[in-house]
């Protein structure tokens, strides 16, 4: 289950961040989209109804949301700085290279591999990045 606007608002406040109208608008823009969005795309989306919200505010809001892990950064698609709304549990992403739709998936456990790698390489492993890229059902039909 994805994070709701309300839930995000609560977490922001819990961490001492103010819930400004601008932030609410940015959060709304992200939660209401199936895609992953770049800062510029969010700015455009937001700018239509709220022409006085600046791009800088988008960047600052995204930085906070990412820090609190309320949004995730995606890489396998086009931009390396596009974001999608997060889910509370650990998950990975499946991204449509055509329309940008993101599907979350869970249930794949990398810890066996992580342990093997850690032993072989003597690294202390802190995290990982796993994304699949492909074409969603709709985009397969109409490319």
Partner DNA sequence: TGCTAAATGAAAAATATTATCATTTACATG
Partner DNA sequence: CATGTAAATGATAATATTTTTCATTTAGCA
Q: Identify residues 37-66 at the interface with DNA (CB under 7 A).
A: 38-40, 52-57, 59-61, 63
Tokens matching residue 80: 């390396």
Binding mask 73-92 toward DNA (x if CB under 7 A, else -) reads --------x-----------
According to the binding rule CB under 8 A, does residue 131 interact with a copy of itself?
Answer: yes
Considering the complex, state which of residue 24 and residue 87 has its C-beta at the smaller distance from DNA.
Answer: 24
Q: Which residues contact 50 (CB under 8 A, 6 or more apart)?
A: 22, 25
Task: Please select the residue that binds a copy of itself; options are 48, 51, 120, 142, rule is CB under 8 A.
Answer: 120
Task: For the beta carbon of residue 124, count every other beta carbon within 10 angstroms.
Answer: 6
Task: For the beta carbon of residue 79, count every other beta carbon within 10 angstroms.
Answer: 16
CA–CA separation, 71 vs 80, rounded Å?
A: 14
Task: Please select the residue that binds a copy of itself; options are 75, 78, 89, 111, rule is CB under 8 A.
Answer: 75
Tokens matching residue 20: 């400004």
Site of interaction with a copy of itself (CB under 8 A): 75-76, 80-81, 94, 96-97, 103, 105, 108, 113-114, 117-118, 120-137, 140
């Amino acid at each position: 289950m994805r994070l709701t606007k309300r839930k995000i608002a609560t977490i922001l406040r819990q961490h001492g961040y103010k819930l400004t109208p601008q932030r609410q608008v940015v959060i709304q823009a992200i939660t209401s989209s199936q895609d992953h969005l770049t800062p510029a795309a969010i700015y455009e989306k937001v700018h239509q109804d709220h022409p006085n919200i600046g791009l800088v505010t988008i960047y600052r809001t995204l930085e906070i949301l990412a820090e609190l892990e309320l949004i995730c950064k995606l890489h396998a698609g086009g931009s390396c700085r596009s974001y999608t709304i997060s889910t509370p549990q650990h998950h990975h992403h499946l991204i449509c290279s055509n329309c940008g739709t993101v599907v979350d998936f869970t249930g794949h456990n990398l810890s066996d591999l992580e342990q093997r790698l850690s032993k072989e390489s003597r690294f202390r492993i802190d995290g990982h990045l796993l994304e699949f890229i492909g074409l969603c059902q709709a985009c397969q039909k109409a490319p």
